[in-house]
Each structure stands twice: as C-alpha cells, then as structure tokens.
C-alpha cells in the first residue's frame, strides 16, 4: 500500500534541497538547455561555407554565369578564383581548401562535345566531400539546363586516385521529377530534436535515479526510512514521484528551448508530446531503480549504468535512422526502450500523429516500465 503523506515528504525533501542549493537547481535547468544547444547547433545544422577554389581556365559568358552561381551557393566559400591547375590541386592537397572546381579551357567554346568540368576533392573529409559532390552536381545540372548545352562533370579524388576521372552524369534528360514531401520540408535538426528530447530524459532519469538510490544507501538515509513501518514500494514510489517531477520540468524546458532556438514544429501538439515524454521518463526512472536496486555506492552505479546508457544512445536511432544501421545493431535497437520513445516522439512531433497512432510504441514503453518496476521492487530489499 502506498501512503500519500510519505510520498509527499519525498517530493518535499527534493524541492527543499533544490531550493537550498541554487547551484544544483541551475544545473538541472541548464542541462537540457546545454544538451539542446550542443546537439542542435553541433549536429543539427547544415554544412555551409565549405572553402573551395575555382580554377577557371576559360573566359566568356558561360564561365561568368558558372562563377556567379558557385559564388552565390551557400555550400561554398570561394576562397579564390585562380587559373593555375597545379596551384588549385596544391591547395586541396595541402588542406587549405576542401575542393577545387576546375573549368577547362574549352568550357566556354561552343562545341558539340561534352565539357569536362572536374571536381578535385579532398575525400578524406567524407561528410564535406559528400555535400560538395552533390551540390556541385546540382549546380551544373542547373547550368546545363539553363544553357541547354551538354556539360559533363567529373570528380577526381585527391587522396585516392587523382588521375581517374569518371563521368558523373549527362545532366540533360527528359524526365521531370516532382517531389511530394508528405511531412513537409524536414531538416536534420527536425529529425534530431524529438530524439534529443528522449535521450536527454533517458540520461537524466537513469543517472539521477541511481544516484539518488545508491547515494542514499551509501550515506544511510535509506536505512533510516526502511527502519520505519513503511513499505518498499512507498519509499521507491516516493523517490520516483520526486524524480519524475523534476524530469517533467526538464522536459518542458527542453521542448520550449527546441521550439525557441530551432523553430522546431510540434505537429502533434504540445500536450501529446509532453505525455509521451512523461511515459518515457517513467520508463527510464524504472530502469534506474532496477539497476540501482542492489548497488551500494554511487560509484558502482555509475559503472553499472554506462553499458546500458551508452549503447542505447547510439543504437536507438537518435542520430541516424535505425534502418541504415548494420542488421545486428537494428536487432539490438529494438530491445532498447529509447527506440520506442524516439519513434513515438518523431511520430507526434514530425508527422503530427496522435497518441492513438503511436499506441504500439507507448504500450511497449509501458510494458518495459512495468517490467523494470517489478524487477526493481523485487530486487530491492531493506538490507541497506
């Protein structure tokens, strides 16, 4: 049986502690802000202003048009337009720039032959190379359409086989592609934020709960509580209620900051997002209880929780879609509750789904929660 008065004391104690330790309070409030800033700005932004040089060996209208287009594209930061091919390659080789776009001497000539534009690129920076490659393809596709002439772009990998050129495409075709984005134009930050909210809740619940239980066991406060005529479930329930309250405030700050800083849209509505986060928080508090049930010190707990929290962070589709991972990691992902929380969060926030639409994720999360609590309370004993 759970006794509300004792429950309330647990919450009151936490609130008094926070009130008397402004530093701790600030840290609790700042943590979600830092997380959202770090991940949002650090990982969620688009790559722009990549330094390049343009080696222009030709003259004329097409060359001018091409240079203007390149210079006005956000992806590039054109360090210089030069005419020496060797210097251009040298600048890429030395790491001064990420790529050199080489316009050949016959670029502006009206010939019936394909024009061989070369993208000499530092492929050791995989992310930048990928973006430069696709941006350059897109530019020359546009230009070739504009001038309705045949132009070809080839790439040279500066680090692997600089001499090999391959024809990327023959841009002009007759097919018209219409893209219909059913959830609107979603940027990487939009994809990232729902999962960052879930991950932050996961980390703070698991870390915080264990620290509370293991810490109080270490200092003897838990023993005093267990010497009173109070059930284990009341003591644990009180701890959960207190922790949950703090986590909910955190969740609110997280959502607020995500909207404020990154203009993230919450298509399914704020309340539904909040409810999903509450269920997630409950689940991870349960996880923390289960892991800390027999842990005698905070240090032990920190060692025990890491093998669970770290893989969960990277495998549960926070940063990349689960489907892009190797099959073994995909299988592992589905045994982690964070996967279901992320899926539900993205469903609500990005797709505008309702709680009913993500019912399976919620049921699985609640099942995990129940399992964690049962194991936690069962494993928990008064021997502190």
Partner 1 sequence: MNAIETNDLTKVYSNNFTAVNSLNLEIPKGSIFGMLGPNGAGKTTTIKMLTCLIQPTSGRAIVGGYDVEKNPNEVRNLLGMVPQQVSLYKDLTVMENSQMCADYYGVPKDERDSRILDLMELVDIKYAKDKRVGQLSGGQKQKASLVASLVHRPNILFLDEPTIGLDPTTKRTLWDLIRELNDDGHTIILCSHDMHEVDMLCDNVGIINTGNLVAYDTPQGLKDALLESNRKDITDALAKISDESEKSISHVDLENLSLKKMSVLLKSSDDGIIETISKSDNVKSVEVARNGRINLRIDSFDDMAVHNVLNDIISSGGIISSIYTEEPSLEDVFIKSTSGGSDDDRA
Residue ranges in contact with partner 1 by CB under 8 A: 5-6, 9, 13, 16-17, 20-21, 219-221, 223-230, 381-384
Q: Which is nearer to partner 1, 229 or 326 (CB)?
A: 229
Q: Indicate the residue among 15 and 82 with the shorter CB distance to partner 1.
A: 15
Beta-bridge partner residues of 55? 82, 102
Cβ closer to partner 1: 222 or 358?
222
Residue 306 CB, nearest approach to partner 1 (Å)? 26
Match 């620290």 to its residue by tokens: 211
Residue 223 or 306 with smaller CB distance to partner 1 = 223
CA distances to 183, 283, 347, 378, 382 from 276, in Å: 20, 11, 10, 27, 33
Min CB(226)–partner 1 separation in Å: 6
Pairing mode, strands 50-56 and 99-103: parallel
Q: Closer to partner 1 at the Cβ: 232 or 313? A: 232
CA 37 to chain centre: 11
Instruction: Find the DSSP H helices in the chain.
Output: 4-20, 22-43, 61-72, 85-93, 126-147, 188-219, 221-226, 232-262, 270-292, 298-315, 327-333, 337-349, 359-379
Q: How far is the CB of 223 from partner 1 (least distance, A)?
A: 6
User: Is the Cβ of residue 171 or residue 226 nearer to partner 1 in the bound state?
Assistant: 226
Task: Give whichever of 323 and 383 is closer to partner 1, judged by the CB atom.
Answer: 383
Q: Which helix (DSSP H) or strand (DSSP E) does residue 156 occupy?
A: strand 152-157
- Shortest gap between Cβ of 310 and partner 1 (angstroms)? 30
Nearer to partner 1, 84 or 219 (CB): 219
Is residue 336 within 8 Å of residue 361, measured between CB atoms?
no
Q: Tell me the C-alpha distance between 63 and 82, whole Å.
A: 13
Structure tokens at 192: 């990232």
Q: Which burial class, exposed, middle or buried, applies to 305 when counting CB atoms under 10 A from its CB (0-12, 13-18, 19+)?
A: buried
CB 225 to partner 1: min, Å: 7
The distance of closest approach from Cβ of residue 298 to partner 1 in the complex, given in angstroms and rounded to an integer, is 15
The distance of closest approach from Cβ of residue 228 to partner 1 in the complex, given in angstroms and rounded to an integer, is 4
Angle CA(376)–CA(377)–CA(378) in degrees, nearest 5?
Answer: 90
Helix axes 4-20, 22-43, angle to 10 degrees: 80
What minimum distance in Å lies between the beta carbon of 234 and partner 1? 9
């Amino acid at each position: 049986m759970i006794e509300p008065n004792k429950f309330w004391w647990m919450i009151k104690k936490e609130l008094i502690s926070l009130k008397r330790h402004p530093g701790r309070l600030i840290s609790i409030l700042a943590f979600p802000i830092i997380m959202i800033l770090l991940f949002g700005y650090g990982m969620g932004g688009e790559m722009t202003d990549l330094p390049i040089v343009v080696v222009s060996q030709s003259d004329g209208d097409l060359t001018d048009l091409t240079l203007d287009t390149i210079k006005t594209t956000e992806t590039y930061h054109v360090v210089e337009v030069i005419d020496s091919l060797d210097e251009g390659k040298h600048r890429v080789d030395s790491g001064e720039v990420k790529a050199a776009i080489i316009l050949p001497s016959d670029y502006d000539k009206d010939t019936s032959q394909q024009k061989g534009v070369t993208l000499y690129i530092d492929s050791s920076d995989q992310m930048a190379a990928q973006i430069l490659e696709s941006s350059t393809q897109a530019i020359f596709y546009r230009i070739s359409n504009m001038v309705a002439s045949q132009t070809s772009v080839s790439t040279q990998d500066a680090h692997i086989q600089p001499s090999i050129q391959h024809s990327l495409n023959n841009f002009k075709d007759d097919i018209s592609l219409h893209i219909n984005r059913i959830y609107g134009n979603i940027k990487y930050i939009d994809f990232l934020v729902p999962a960052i909210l879930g991950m932050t809740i996961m980390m703070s619940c698991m870390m915080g709960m264990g620290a509370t239980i293991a810490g109080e066991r270490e200092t003897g406060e838990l023993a005093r509580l267990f010497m009173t005529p109070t059930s284990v479930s009341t003591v644990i329930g009180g701890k959960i209620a207190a922790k949950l309250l703090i986590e909910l405030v955190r969740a609110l700050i997280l959502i607020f900051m995500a909207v404020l800083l990154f203009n993230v849209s919450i298509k399914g509505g704020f309340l539904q997002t909040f409810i999903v986060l509450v269920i997630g928080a409950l689940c991870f508090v349960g996880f923390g209880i289960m892991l800390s049930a027999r842990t005698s010190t905070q240090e032990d707990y920190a060692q025990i929780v890491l093998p669970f929290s770290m893989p969960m962070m990277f495998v549960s589709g926070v940063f990349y879609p689960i489907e892009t991972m190797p099959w073994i990691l995909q299988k592992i992902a589905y045994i982690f509750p964070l996967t279901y929380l992320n899926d539900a969060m993205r469903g609500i926030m990005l797709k505008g789904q309702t709680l009913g639409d993500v019912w399976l994720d919620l049921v699985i999360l609640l099942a995990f929660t129940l399992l964690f609590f049962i194991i936690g309370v069962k494993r928990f004993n008064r021997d502190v």
